[in-house]
């Protein structure tokens, strides 16, 4: 199970589109759209929000992202009607809907709890270039310094959304500080912001207990072309 995510928007299309985008990066995360009024007009729906929360709650918690102030009011009203045990597992993130949903979904996909998902989503609203509390690889080096390697992107579209998500999910599994061209390798938006396309070099650096393994496996992932031609 993972933390579930609910998108509350005044537009059914925005909510559903955001869910579809985030699902591409985090296929195992339960994402639910609660957009528009009951008849899919512009506005919000108490019933849609209530249903989405129930469907997204697997027991590990739910993070809710809202687009405008009245969406927050509808969500808060819906939360007044859930039982105390469930309410304790639900949190609203103060984050941009699209960027926050993508970053939060990847955090949930990699096993993050509610606090980690909220942190990732809210950090996305501050530029997303490095994770909260993250430090650049090499800032606490051992005697020999960080492990480094330069790899060239070979897949047609480089580190676009899906490969970037695959890269971040793999990087998040290592006990190491890892960077790509100086950006935190565990930050999806940071990696995507690099604009690494086919033929560009990715300079990997890591330090920490898993540094050597991390660099080897991440380099192999890039060299494999992420399964793309």
As annotated, the active-site residues are 10
Whole-number Å distance between alpha carbons of 64 and 153: 35
Of 71, 72, 74, 204, nearest to 146 by C-alpha is 204
> What SS3 class is residue 206?
strand
Whole-number Å distance between alpha carbons of 112 and 119: 10
Whole-number Å distance between alpha carbons of 1 and 30: 9
* Helix 97-109 and helix 12-25, axial crossing angle in degrees, nearest 10: 30
Q: Are 59 and 51 in contact (CB under 8 A)?
A: no
- Dihedral angle over CA of 186, 188, 189, 191, nearest 10: 70
Provide the token pair at 126: 């501050």
Task: Mention every residue, 6+ apart, whose C-beta is less than 8 A from residue 216.
Answer: none
Whole-number Å distance between alpha carbons of 194 and 53: 34
Task: Mention every residue, 6+ apart, whose C-beta is less than 8 A from residue 73.
Answer: none
Identify the DSSP state of 36: S
């Amino acid at each position: 199970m993972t933390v579930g995510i609910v998108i509350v928007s005044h537009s059914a299309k925005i909510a559903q589109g955001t869910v579809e985008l985030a699902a591409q990066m985090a296929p195992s995360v339960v994402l639910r759209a609660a957009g528009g009024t009951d008849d899919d007009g512009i506005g919000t729906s108490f019933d849609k929000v209530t249903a989405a929360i129930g469907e997204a709650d697997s027991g590990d918690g739910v993070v809710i992202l809202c687009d405008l102030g009245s969406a927050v009011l509808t969500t808060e009203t819906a939360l007044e009607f859930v039982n105390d045990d469930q309410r304790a597992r639900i949190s609203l993130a103060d984050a941009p809907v699209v960027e926050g949903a993508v970053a939060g979904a990847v955090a949930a996909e990699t096993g993050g709890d509610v606090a980690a998902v909220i942190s990732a989503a809210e950090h996305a609203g501050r530029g997303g270039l490095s994770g909260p509390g993250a430090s650049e690889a090499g800032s606490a080096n051992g005697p020999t310094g960080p492990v480094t390697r330069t790899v060239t992107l070979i897949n047609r579209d480089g580190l676009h959304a899906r490969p970037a998500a695959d890269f971040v999910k793999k990087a998040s599994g290592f006990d190491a500080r890892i960077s790509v061209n100086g950006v935190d390798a565990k930050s999806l938006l940071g990696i995507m912001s690099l604009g690494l396309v086919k033929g560009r070099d990715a300079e990997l650096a890591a330090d920490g207990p898993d540094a050597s393994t991390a660099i080897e496996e991440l380099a192999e992932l890039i060299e494999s072309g992420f399964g793309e031609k």
